[in-house]
Structure 1
Amino acid sequence: MPLLRIDGVAKRFGAVRAVDRLSLDIRRGEFFALLGPSGCGKTTLLRMLAGFETPDEGAILLGGDDIAQVLPHQRPVNMMFQNYALFPHLSVRDNIAFGLKRARMPRAEIATRVAEMVALVRLEGLEKRKPDQLSGGQRQRVALARSLARRPEILLLDEPLAALDKKLRESTQVELMELQRRLGMTFIIVTHDQEEAMTMADRIGVMDQGRLEQVATPRKLYEAPNSRWVAEFVGDINMLEGEVGPGDAGRLAIATKDAGTIVAAAPPDPVKQALVFVAIRPEKVKLSRRGPASDTAGTHTINRLEGIVIEVSYLGGFTTYKVKLDSGAVLKSSMANTARLDVDAYSVTQRVVAWFTPDDCVVLEQ
């Protein structure tokens, strides 16, 4: 039985259905991410889990008990807000202790618990400081310690790293993951940052217009999206539209409008529509001056498309290229920079061969 079961939950604000009869199971000890564009309903769902909003329909079951009508301070769930919501007039110690005092915990137990939390988030020596005397990363740790102090069964995090710079955000991601594993607690994080979700979460739920479009591990979500929308939302992708033709040995020949016939691996379920989309991630598209040595890689036919480089973006660890094919379509390629100098790089107006295997292609019907 899952720790948390969200069963057919819906929430409306006037004519807007923010969450649309959504169902989801979350396991004990899982780091789960809700990912989606602004306005997709992810924060509304999080607020219903915290008790700040009441669902119009459905049930929220925690350990088998429906908590949809339980007041926020009475449910074993705590929430860390995007702006941290620290009390500016209270010290670090008193901010962390605030919820424990409201729960009327004995003074000696409060002191012990606060000391545990300070050590847990590595704030020793800063207990007497006020929030305005702390860095952004330190304030984030105070908010995290305060959220964990009452030892909730589930910790909800509403874009907790949005205010941090890139370097600090990356190091804090690692700290949060280590902390979650050490505590064995269930974390549910809301974010619009795909890299953040892919880095931290055991599973990701992608939301759009109040509905869950797909729930999967980061790898499956990226490599095997279940729809064109998910494929285009998660990461960068090349999308070619075409009609399915005859194929053999687990392969489909797809006559695309913009790139000729593409041979793609057949999806697990039989294709029911004639019109499909072939999705290829940019890092799967290799570039070379003459193409691969042969048209086959083992038993796999290689798709070869010729064109001219029209754009080059150097991004440190890799370079992205836009190649205008002879057919007129533009294909994106992302290649690792394995040499320190640009001996393997391609320049604008250079003629290249873009190639990829059938297994690099994902066939989508919607």
Structure 2
Amino acid sequence: MTNPADTIDIPADDDRAIAYPTPLLRIDTVSKRFGTHVAADELSLDIREGEFFALLGPSGCGKTTLLRMLAGFETPDSGRIELNGEDIAAVPPHQRPVNMMFQNYALFPHLSVRDNIGFGLKNAGLTRIGIDARVADMISLVKLNGLEQRKPHQLSGGQKQRVALARALARHPKLLLLDEPLAALDKKLREETQTELIRLQRQLGLTFVIVTHDQDEAMSMADRIGVMHGGRLQQLATPRQLYEAPASRWVAEFVGDINLVEGEIRLQDGHRLTVEGKGTGTLFATMPAEPVDGLAICIAIRPEKIRLSRRGLAAGLNHSGGMNSIEGLVDEVDYLGGRSVYRLKLDHGATLRVALANTTRLDVDAYGIGERVTAWFTPDDCVVLPR
């Protein structure tokens, strides 16, 4: 069986495009049902050794169920879960070289930091001296020195998170599973912890699998992302591929902010498509690598790919030359600090969202509500998808 992960092309300019060896973990046509709800529907996926992998999807898509099957807390109804070539689907959790860090951290309130981290090492066959040495290594690794005797109620949210991480790493698992590990942290601490997790993963060379519904979290941390919906894998790609080349309309709508324009192909000239867009008029797009069937399509355009002008297009950039340009009025403006998002009401009736960086401290270059503007973007900025 050929898995999509084996054939995916990784762009050379993606600095996370690392050549991985044979997959450490192979999920082969795994299915799991809870009554009438399908949590995993013949799902297949390879995860490589040393990879930071993210499972991304909306609530109820099956990503946490899949994580629990990898940990051994749920058993597949069918299919295989292979770790280093061995089927572990029926292996109890405590006998797997796999550990899981839970969303609520699951720390023992009556135990100190040291004892929380060391819990379970005795069952792993370590001596007291070995346990003390391992715990000391973990405390140093996650930078908890000086907090060894504190109880969980004496720790901040970030410190609790590091205790839970140290405990998960203490048994030296081949695979570390993280279930929404940063959900309880504030924005600043979450960003700091993301950086720390990446550092630890690279330092230890372990395989991390994180489940999250936070797209920014997945994009910033993962080497590859698997997007799930309805128990199925919708797309498997690097963060750059996922954002710039979504495989379907659903993925395009789910990942990031995007404009979707339905239309029909009127003309194909080499790699150039002329499309009559609903509510936009004529648009030019570049033919996708895998042409869509039929004339009815959907064009996806990221808001940050669009530029605005009060004076029309710059010299040499005009509609007849193949550049997309659309007239309209500014209907709404959202100031978001580093960028502003403009909602345009186009002359042909559609709406368009445009995201522009705020490059000056004052609003001298901003566009106001009711102002007439030209929106322009290139054919290469248009992602052509089946409708």
Give yes or no for the alignment of 1:98 onto 2:132.
Answer: no
In structure 1, what is the equivalent of residue 152 of structure 2? Answer: 131
Give distance in 1, aligned partners of 2:32 and 2:157.
Answer: 33
The amino acid across from 2:298 in the alignment is F
Give distance in 2, aligned partners of 1:262 and 1:30.
Answer: 40
Question: 1:203-232 CA distances to partner (integer Å, 9 max, x unpaired)?
Answer: 000000000000000000000001000000
2:288 is aligned, of 250, 255, 267, to: 267
Give distance in 2, aligned partners of 1:241 and 1:147.
Answer: 48
In structure 1, what is the equivalent of residue 139 of structure 2? Answer: 118
Give distance in 2, aligned partners of 1:135 and 1:24.
Answer: 37
Describe how 1:148-297 pairs up with structure 2 within 5 A: 148-294=169-315, 296=317
DSSP-derived class of the 1:58 partner: strand
DSSP-derived class of the 1:246 partner: strand
DSSP-derived class of the 2:211 partner: strand
In structure 2, what is the equivalent of residue 351 of structure 1? Answer: 372
Describe how 1:41-52 pairs up with structure 2 within 5 A: 41-52=62-73
Give distance in 1, aligned partners of 2:45 and 2:290.
Answer: 23
1:8 is aligned, of 4, 10, 29, to: 29
In structure 1, what is the equivalent of residue 40 of structure 2? Answer: 19
Structure 1 length-normalised TM: 0.98
The amino acid across from 1:224 in the alignment is A
Deviation of 1:296 (Å): 3.2
Give distance in 2, aligned partners of 1:309 and 1:115.
Answer: 59
Taking only the aligned residue pairs, the percentage that are identical comes to: 69
The amino acid across from 2:164 in the alignment is A
Question: 1:129-184 CA distances to partner (integer Å, 9 max, x unpaired)?
Answer: 00000000000000000000000000000000000000000000000001100000
Deviates more, 1:333-342 or 1:131-140: 333-342
Deviates more, 1:319-328 or 1:287-296: 287-296
Describe how 1:293-308 pairs up with structure 2 within 5 A: 293-294=314-315, 296=317, 301-308=322-329
Give distance in 1, aligned partners of 2:310 and 2:96.
Answer: 62
Deviation of 1:295 (Å): 5.2
Deviation of 1:249 (Å): 3.4
In structure 2, what is the equivalent of residue 341 of structure 1? Answer: 362
Give distance in 1, aligned partners of 2:310 and 2:212.
Answer: 41
Aligned length: 366
DSSP-derived class of the 1:145 partner: helix
Give distance in 2, aligned partners of 1:37 and 1:343.
Answer: 40
Question: 1:103-134 CA distances to partner (integer Å, 9 max, x unpaired)?
Answer: 23100000000000000000000000000000
Deviation of 1:292 (Å): 1.7
The amino acid across from 1:182 in the alignment is Q
DSSP-derived class of the 2:314 partner: coil
Unpaired segments of 5 or more residues in structure 2?
Answer: 1-21
Unpaired segments of 5 or more residues in structure 1?
Answer: none
Question: 1:73-98 CA distances to partner (integer Å, 9 max, x unpaired)?
Answer: 10000000000000000000000000
Give distance in 2, aligned partners of 1:341 and 1:230.
Answer: 36
Question: 1:36-70 CA distances to partner (integer Å, 9 max, x unpaired)?
Answer: 00000000000000000000000000000000000
Contact 1:276 1:364 in 2 (8 A): yes
Describe how 1:35-114 pairs up with structure 2 within 5 A: 35-114=56-135
Contact 1:319 1:337 in 2 (8 A): yes
2:333 is aligned, of 312, 333, 349, to: 312
The amino acid across from 2:175 in the alignment is I
DSSP-derived class of the 1:48 partner: helix
The amino acid across from 2:204 in the alignment is L
DSSP-derived class of the 2:120 partner: helix
Give distance in 2, aligned partners of 1:75 and 1:346.
Answer: 58
The amino acid across from 2:102 in the alignment is F
Question: 1:301-329 CA distances to partner (integer Å, 9 max, x unpaired)?
Answer: 21110000010011111100000001111
Deviation of 1:300 (Å): 6.6
Runs of 4 or more, structure 1, over 4 Å off, are none
In structure 2, what is the equivalent of residue 33 of structure 1? Answer: 54
Give distance in 2, aligned partners of 1:294 and 1:305.
Answer: 16
